[in-house]
Amino acid sequence: MRKALIVVDVQNDFVEGGALACGGGKKVAQNVHYWIENHKEDYALIVATRDWHTPDDTNGGHIAIDADPDFIDTWAAHCVADTKGAEYCEPLAKELFDVEILKGQGKPAYSGFEGITTEDGLTLDGILKENDIEQVDVVGIALDYCVYQTAKDAVDLGYGVTVLKGLTASVDEEGGNEAVEKLEKKGVRVV
């Protein structure tokens, strides 16, 4: 069975010191890097997703520009294209990944399945199918938002899905626990 690793949004704006920081985000970056170095032979494909928002734009109402964000539907400016906040958190780097998916260009997007590659405009589902992937492991930030949505969409599309919880960070613990419960009810394995 061919398997892919999907690394979700491990970017500077989602770790400590970033615009929408998750506690433990920098540790996730280190641990995901270590995981890739020691387990890359387990995967036919290693994919990274990145929030990549259009500058000076609400991105379809996702980013609050003229008001305070409600942190439910609207957020502070984050992961603006070509900024430090949108870069991978070190020690992660683009060279570690076989494929990069950018999402949120001018619109809200939480799931990696909502993004496309920059080179040829392929979707994550298209890339996985093209590579005969049947199983995905999902890691990254934030468990209660983008990791959750990516894992949910993957299982809905028929992939076998495992979330490696130790390689994730949540916006808050309660939200992370709720996400795990919902995913497990959908048949996602959380380890």
Q: Widest CA span of the chain, in angstroms?
A: 49
Q: Are 156 and 128 in contact (CB under 8 A)?
A: no
Q: What does the alpha-carbon distance between residue 104 and residue 14 come to, in Å, rounded to a whole number?
A: 15
Q: What does the alpha-carbon distance between residue 84 and residue 81 come to, in Å, rounded to a whole number?
A: 9
Instruction: Name the 3-class secondary structure at 3.
Output: strand
Active-site amino acid positions: 9, 103, 146
Which pair of structure tokens corresponds to residue 20? 């929408």
For Cα atoms 48, 88, 44, give the angle at the middle one, nearest 5 degrees: 25
